[in-house]
Amino acid sequence: MMCQILWLTCIIVPLLSVSLVGGPTDPEVMQKPTGKNQCSITSELSYYVMWFYGLKFLPVVINMVLLFIWSLSQACDLIISTANNNSTINIQQCWYVYPDPKETEWGGWSKFEPTIISVQRLMLLFLVMHYVTISLSFVHRDYLLWKRKIHLNKPYLFTSLFIILVQWAYTIHYEYFDSIENNISISKLSVLTFIIGFISLFLVFIINEVVHWQEIRLNVRYQKRARLDFGTKLGMNSPF
């Protein structure tokens, strides 16, 4: 788990963030009014950050937690069915997602560590794809994705494709070419698990585009108000 967190925070997120810098320069950037310096955290600023940025990640958090619970529940059922054919494993019934709740260490998952690691590896794959999906709304700040194409930012395009391919290769390698004996492979999970994961990607993309659309509208209103304020102050201070 620690390695997966480091992989996300030290490799995936920095690569996606740096690649976003490769976008084309906005020719109208010099005509846009600048914002005021925020010296303190206000309620308006907090609302802006929580709504336009927090809402982009909130569906991912909810979906991934539910998908992880669903996957563990399926893996636990597979362990029970395997235990019925193996006299060395004495497990009668899963307690939600725990194969042996009497065990104090991970609720019995310590006995089946390769299986829970496989499920975590699958969640990491979906989480990386969700991160890439979220980053799509940051490619062009002032335009929706269907109005300005991704290929205008070639560094981001190549980086995101590279990240997804590497993550898929990593998952497939460990599941099919470096498998451990008595491990419940993720390929034995229900197809519904993978369908839910890909549907979640689509829903996150739609939610992000809707939030991005609202963010663009708010920025446009702010720029109009800033121009009006500047014109009013300029007229008041004019000697004519």
| DSSP string for residues in 71-105 | HHHHHHHHHHHHHTT-TT------BTTBS-TT-SS
- Show the tokens assigned to 181: 């004996």
Q: What is the pLDDT of residue 89?
A: 54
* Nearest-5° Cα angle at 163, 157 to 168: 130
Give the mean pLDDT of the chain: 79
Q: Percentage of the chain with pLDDT > 90?
A: 26
Q: How far, in Å, are 19, 89, 121, 133, 138 from residue 7 at the CA level?
A: 17, 34, 12, 18, 21
> For residue 21, is pLDDT > 90?
no
pLDDT value, residue 110: 65
Residues pairing with 98 in the sheet:
95
> Distances from the Cα of 98 to the Cαs of 58, 71, 102, 215, 221, in angstroms?
26, 12, 9, 42, 52
Check if the beta carbon of residue 129 is closer than 8 Å to that of residue 164.
yes
Write out pLDDT tens, residues 27-60: 766 766 666 666 677 777 777 778 778 888 999 9
For the ranges 79-88, 107-116, 137-146, 159-168, the lowest mean pLDDT is seen at 79-88
Which tokens in the block code for residue 26? 């906005």
The answer to whether 42 touches 194, Cβ cutoff 8 Å, is no
Question: pTM of this prediction?
Answer: 0.79
Q: How far apart are CA 5 and CA 80, in angstroms?
A: 30
Lowest pLDDT segment from 43-57, 91-105, 137-151, 153-167:
91-105
Tell me if 116 sits within 8 A of 125, measured CB to CB: no
pLDDT > 70? residue 175 = yes
pLDDT over 70, % of the chain: 72
